[in-house]
Amino acid sequence: MIIVANWKAYVEDLTKGKTLFATSKKLARVSDLRIILAPPSPFLGALALRNKSSVAFAAQDVSVTLGGAVTGEITARMSATAGATYALIGHSERRAKGDTNEIVAEKLAHAFAHGLIPILCVGESERDAEGRYLSFIREQITAGLAALAPKERAEVSIAYEPLWAIGKTAEESIGPDDLAEMVLYIRKVLAELLPGKSSRQTHVLYGGAVESGNVRDLAAVSMADGFLVGHASTNVSSFTDIVKALS
């Protein structure tokens, strides 16, 4: 079971980041979870380069560029040399800022080129009775993986984060049975894109109103391999409760 803590821009000072990192190290020692922290990029090196624990780090995004005269960009190589092992690619908040499927595919390639393991984020903005949102999810996955080599495709994790569930309460978010259907559908799409039985090894995560009160049921029924947690991961008490619920 994997839990990715996406701090987004909620953590704006390094002291809080260090506190959350210290908590994560303690939790990793007493649980069987794979904990991955995605801090804001200015804090990545300060935390990850001194890391000797089992906690891993992820970049929240990578630039579509490979360096040069591009002020303010954060390339895949920068994040890798700062200590990141993973990279979130195609997060809904980056897609809202203009990341198309083509840009996401390019970022995936850049991540692999510099040794980062991508976590490809996909998700629909709303659901319709006709099920057109399923085609939307298929397109996001297919477009992201299309240009990758078969071996690379097998290493990508998929994080399903429906936009309509983000920021909602657990009661308003997705239920265990609906999530189970989505996990199965994503695995069906992956089976068409990956050779042999390798799609069975792909990690499928869920993000969207993940709380200690619903995460156990979501994990038990849906067969998701883990969770992408946003705001709750920046609160020591909330994050501890979520990890304990999954352990």
Question: Which residue among the candidates 12, 161, 192, 211 is catalytic per the annotation?
Answer: 161
The yes-or-no answer on residue 161 being catalytic is: yes
Q: Are 141 and 186 in contact (CB under 8 A)?
A: yes
> How far, in Å, CA of 201 to CA of 179, rounded?
18
Q: What are phi and psi of 56, to 5 degrees?
A: -110, 170
Token pair listed for 92 = 């809904």
Q: Taking a C-beta distance cutoff of 8 angstroms, is the pair 170, 209 a contact?
A: yes
Q: Is 203 annotated as catalytic?
A: no
Residue among 91, 110, 124, 203 flagged as catalytic: 91
Q: Please report where in the chains the tokens 């390339």 appear, as a residue.
A: 75
Rounded to whole angstroms, the Cα distance separating 23 from 64 reads 33
Active site amino acids: 91, 161
